[in-house]
Structure 1
Amino acid sequence: MVSGDVQNPLHAVKTSSVVPAAVTGETAVHELTNMDLAMKLHYLRTVYYYNKEAFDGLDILSIKRPMFRWLDFYSTVAGRIRRSDAGRPFIKCNDSGVRIIEGRCNETLDEWLDKKEWDLHKHLVPSQVIGPEMLFSPLAVLQFTWFRCGGVAIGFSWSHALGDVFSALRFIDTWAHIMAGTPPTQSINPPRSTVEKPIKPPNPPTKQLPAKPVEPVGDHWLTANNCKMDTFLFHITDTQLKHIQSKISGQIPPFEALSALIWRSLAKMREGKEPKIVTICRTDPRGKENVWLSNDQIISTVEADLDVKDAELSELAALIAKGGVDVSKEIEVMVDSNSGSPDLIVYGVNLTFVDLEQVNFFEMEFKGQKPILVQFKIDGVGDEGAVLVVRDHASGGDDKCGSGGWMVTVILPDNEVMQLKSELEREWCIT
């Protein structure tokens, strides 16, 4: 899907809020960790597509009613950002709520999914950021779009300051469980009232960290790129992946194989500026069991001491597989424990590859129906770009992404998108 300027195809748009059923209390606060603040300028955007059967017979009131209890378990998400006397942001759990957007589309779901342009699909996911009126900015927003056929798209926007992908999915999946009549048995995310200061690593890194201070953003958590960024998504079938792996000597896992392929392709395009250092972000499996909202990613850097554009894919894949140098603690130390400064970006400081193999976006069921397609992207990516590799857990049926395989979302400067698409199609028949 490639961006372009298109008119918003939605109509009958309405906005409301949902708050916790019980009063949380004026004194409850959720302290943000240094890693939370390092990620605060990034946003996770997800769109889930469902056939008519998933929401047949349900109106917006029956969909929203379980949300009041849902937010009892996640009062933090219903809060708003405040600052301490020293200027450090935290979340005041004041029950201001999660924003809900409703809209309608005159096309059928099949007609919509036949359009492969991101600029169309982005209308289905809220693009709000925190600020400039921070006191009124929701930390999470859901958008429901009804298609003419009865199909539904659920757009989910999540501030990365709240937590990583595991935290975001745990949050929204809990709502689906409550809708199904299987709520959690106890509070699963009490506000975090204290935060341990990060321990300064004994040996400071000698190389540049994959986190860059930007111009201070104040209360508007949005940073500008030096160029227009564009997004496209493509699907890799298991057959295509095996073909790619067959061209690489050794047993190379899917994430490493796909990352190496795109790394080399971009190096060929960026003559004289080929990316020698890349950032690797992996979801920490321990985050699955963490009841807290948290940013538990493992962030590392990989440096190539060879000519990337002429390298064997096996060489680049082996570098990625080794994992590079974990610099997560060093990034935490960059954030002042008193003020929460400076403002940083992480994704896109270097060319960034995000491994989401352990994340299953297809677990959120309604009436026994799983999504037929899920699209995921990250906003706030820096100029070097980011590549998100997700396992496609869609099972059979008429889904538009095929059964199984991998979904790859690429976020790049707009002048590189068509070049990369042409390179992938010419070299690997990937469209």
Structure 2
Amino acid sequence: MEKLSRVKVQSMLSVVSSKPIESGKIHRFSSLDQAMGLHTIHIVFYYSSNPFEDGPMPSDLDNLRVALSRLLDQFPTVTGRLTRGVDGAWEVKCNDAGVRMLQASVGCTLVEWLRSADASEERDLTVWEDMPQDPSFWSPFRIQITNFKCGGVAIGLSCSHIHADITSATMLIKSWAEVHSGQPLTHSPIFHLPPAISSPNNSISSFSPSKYTDPPPKMSTITMKFSGPVIKKHLLQIQKQCPDATPFDILVALFWSRIAHWQEPLPNDKQKQTRSLCICTDSRRNQQITYGYFGNALYFSVLDVDADKLMSGELGLVTESVHNHIEGLKRDDFLSFINSFGEERNKDEKGPFQMYGPRLTCISIEHENMMYDAMFRKGERPVHVSYHVGNVGREGLIMVMPSGDAGLGQIVMVTLPEKQVASLSKDQAVLDLEPVMVLSGMR
């Protein structure tokens, strides 16, 4: 029997920009944007109080619409609608169609929700519907405001991955908070890569996505929060092998090495002697690309490690491999991937591709703490932020991000086949890092 949702939707409306959009304006997606079409992004920002209650308008809904409407003046690709260009590729017809917004409520407190809800129930905070065959009236961006019994609120954003990556989607909410609080935008949006980056490049990344994918088994997500002191302790323990290791390095090494015990080698693993991990990083971090770039600027690379080394239990050795791989990524690697993806590799197939999960994939969000800077009221940071990627393949996804606490604290969200998640939640090597379970579904 299907479990009844605790989230009750009360209203739905559209929010449009406060100024008319330039007539006939079209935004053409990059090859990398097109390749991401199988996936969606879902983010939930949790706040301990409703930041929209105070304002010049009579209701909190009116107050949040005012700031969002002003923000959308600068994001024509968000308010527009998808259409096919003359070459058959997706593009945005920039118009004033607007963003779908829902208002909902939950009959429990925020603290109770974070203790009792699971990842499946959390999706009810991010309204989404699959793209229809004719998307000319379909909103690719959807926002849901959910009120908790205690006065807390969740802001859920869902969007197509064609339009934006995780950084862009996060920056959209952060920019909304800045407009609402009367602050200037930290990063003004731009929608095209600089000429030096968008020019042709013949080098090809070693990453090979899957064009087609079988339906994955039933997937589940587990969220674990690791404290700064515990992370620091374990970094000190491996300092001899990898003195410059980061929290991302050691957590990816830990989870990859544990998951490898339950996963069969992929056909492309060399004679089962190596195991592969796809590492997804944000090219804004090392490139001359502003964080205001609104689109996809992710870079997917592959790390191969000897299978015996991976499963030996020597965490320092695996951490060193992850760290050296990340540090070894060069500017030209990023440029090559962004420029030539979908053009040189697949002249007849522009995507979309299965980008997450054809092999176990991890995403680094550790370098940027901006999700906790989304403050609609001064000094009131989110108490928790969750990220989900839609349509993850059967090998799964590891996401590592800051916890919002001062120091080295991290949150790891892992999406795997249901049986593997059950094993991971009881794995002693993981439990030795004393994780706190968040959204664990324990009532």
| TM-score bracket relative to the smaller structure | 0.7 to 0.9
1:362–1:394 CA contact under 8 A, matched in 2 = no
Corresponding residue for residue 335 of structure 1: 342
- Judging changes above 3 Å, is the alpha-carbon distance between structure 1 residues 272 and 365 closer, same or farther for their aligned structure 2 residues? closer
Corresponding residue for residue 321 of structure 2: 319
Moved more, 292-301 or 123-132: 123-132
Which structure 2 residues correspond to residues 295-310 of structure 1 after superposition, within 5 A? 295-307=296-308, 308-310=310-312
Corresponding residue for residue 418 of structure 1: 422
Structure 1 residue 271 displacement after superposition: 5.3
- Judging changes above 3 Å, is the alpha-carbon distance between structure 1 residues 5 and 232 closer, same or farther for their aligned structure 2 residues? farther
Letter in 2 for 1:226: P
Structure 1 residue 128 displacement after superposition: 3.0
CA distance in structure 1 between the aligned counterparts of 2:25 and 2:114, rounded to whole angstroms: 43
2:366 aligned to which of 357, 374, 378: 357
1:378 aligned to which of 355, 375, 389: 389
2:41 aligned to which of 40, 44, 69: 44
Structure 1 residue 181 displacement after superposition: 1.7
- Judging changes above 3 Å, is the alpha-carbon distance between structure 1 residues 250 and 333 closer, same or farther for their aligned structure 2 residues? closer
CA distance in structure 1 between the aligned counterparts of 2:257 and 2:130, rounded to whole angstroms: 33
Corresponding residue for residue 262 of structure 2: 269
CA distance in structure 1 between the aligned counterparts of 2:81 and 2:90, rounded to whole angstroms: 10
- Judging changes above 3 Å, is the alpha-carbon distance between structure 1 residues 339 and 150 closer, same or farther for their aligned structure 2 residues? farther
CA distance in structure 1 between the aligned counterparts of 2:307 and 2:265, rounded to whole angstroms: 14
Structure 1 residue 131 displacement after superposition: 3.1
Letter in 2 for 1:351: L
Structure 1 residue 306 displacement after superposition: 4.0
- Judging changes above 3 Å, is the alpha-carbon distance between structure 1 residues 291 and 254 closer, same or farther for their aligned structure 2 residues? closer
Structure 1 residue 245 displacement after superposition: 2.5
Matched, 1:211 2:215: no
Q: Structure 2: which 5+ residue stretches go unaligned?
A: 267-271, 438-443
Which structure 2 residues correspond to residues 100-249 of structure 1 after superposition, within 5 A? 100-184=101-185, 188-189=188-189, 199-202=200-203, 209-214=207-212, 225-248=215-238, 249=241
CA distance in structure 1 between the aligned counterparts of 2:358 and 2:337, rounded to whole angstroms: 15
Moved more, 24-33 or 310-319: 310-319
Give TM-score scaled by structure 1 length.
Answer: 0.85
1:38–1:344 CA contact under 8 A, matched in 2 = yes
1:87–1:340 CA contact under 8 A, matched in 2 = no
1:393–1:404 CA contact under 8 A, matched in 2 = no
1:287–1:296 CA contact under 8 A, matched in 2 = no
The alignment partner of 1:69 has SS state of helix
Corresponding residue for residue 10 of structure 1: 7
CA distance in structure 1 between the aligned counterparts of 2:224 and 2:321, rounded to whole angstroms: 24
Letter in 2 for 1:421: S
The alignment partner of 1:269 has SS state of coil
Corresponding residue for residue 282 of structure 1: 281
What RMSD in Å do the two structures reach over aligned CA positions? 3.0
Give TM-score scaled by structure 2 length.
Answer: 0.83
Structure 1 residue 150 displacement after superposition: 1.4
CA distance in structure 2 between the aligned counterparts of 1:428 and 1:101, rounded to whole angstroms: 39
CA distance in structure 2 between the aligned counterparts of 1:149 and 1:44, rounded to whole angstroms: 28
Corresponding residue for residue 357 of structure 2: 348
1:277–1:303 CA contact under 8 A, matched in 2 = yes
Letter in 2 for 1:298: Y
1:264-318 residue CA offsets vs partner (Å, 9 max, x unmatched): 1011122566871111111221477244313222321111134221252222212
- Judging changes above 3 Å, is the alpha-carbon distance between structure 1 residues 44 and 129 closer, same or farther for their aligned structure 2 residues? same
- Judging changes above 3 Å, is the alpha-carbon distance between structure 1 residues 157 and 339 closer, same or farther for their aligned structure 2 residues? farther
Structure 1 residue 320 displacement after superposition: 1.2
Letter in 2 for 1:36: D
CA distance in structure 2 between the aligned counterparts of 1:331 and 1:155, rounded to whole angstroms: 29
Structure 1 residue 331 displacement after superposition: 7.3
Corresponding residue for residue 399 of structure 1: none
CA distance in structure 2 between the aligned counterparts of 1:118 and 1:314, rounded to whole angstroms: 31
Structure 1 residue 370 displacement after superposition: 1.1
Q: Structure 1: which 5+ residue stretches go unaligned?
A: 216-223, 396-402
Corresponding residue for residue 255 of structure 1: 248
Corresponding residue for residue 269 of structure 2: none
The alignment partner of 1:375 has SS state of strand
Structure 1 residue 86 displacement after superposition: 2.1
Matched, 1:391 2:402: yes
Corresponding residue for residue 68 of structure 1: 69
- Judging changes above 3 Å, is the alpha-carbon distance between structure 1 residues 132 and 236 closer, same or farther for their aligned structure 2 residues? farther
CA distance in structure 1 between the aligned counterparts of 2:193 and 2:425, rounded to whole angstroms: 47
- Judging changes above 3 Å, is the alpha-carbon distance between structure 1 residues 59 and 261 closer, same or farther for their aligned structure 2 residues? same
Structure 1 residue 200 displacement after superposition: 4.9
Letter in 1 for 2:133: P
Structure 1 residue 333 displacement after superposition: 3.6
- Judging changes above 3 Å, is the alpha-carbon distance between structure 1 residues 278 and 272 closer, same or farther for their aligned structure 2 residues? closer
1:187-210 residue CA offsets vs partner (Å, 9 max, x unmatched): 9446659999763534x56x6x34
CA distance in structure 1 between the aligned counterparts of 2:119 and 2:166, rounded to whole angstroms: 21
Structure 1 residue 67 displacement after superposition: 1.7
Moved more, 386-395 or 267-276: 267-276
Aligned length: 409
Moved more, 404-413 or 303-312: 303-312
Corresponding residue for residue 24 of structure 1: 21
Moved more, 70-79 or 297-306: 297-306
Letter in 2 for 1:256: D
Matched, 1:87 2:80: no
- Judging changes above 3 Å, is the alpha-carbon distance between structure 1 residues 5 and 313 closer, same or farther for their aligned structure 2 residues? farther
CA distance in structure 1 between the aligned counterparts of 2:322 and 2:248, rounded to whole angstroms: 9
Corresponding residue for residue 407 of structure 1: 411
Structure 1 residue 237 displacement after superposition: 0.7
Q: Percent identity?
A: 25
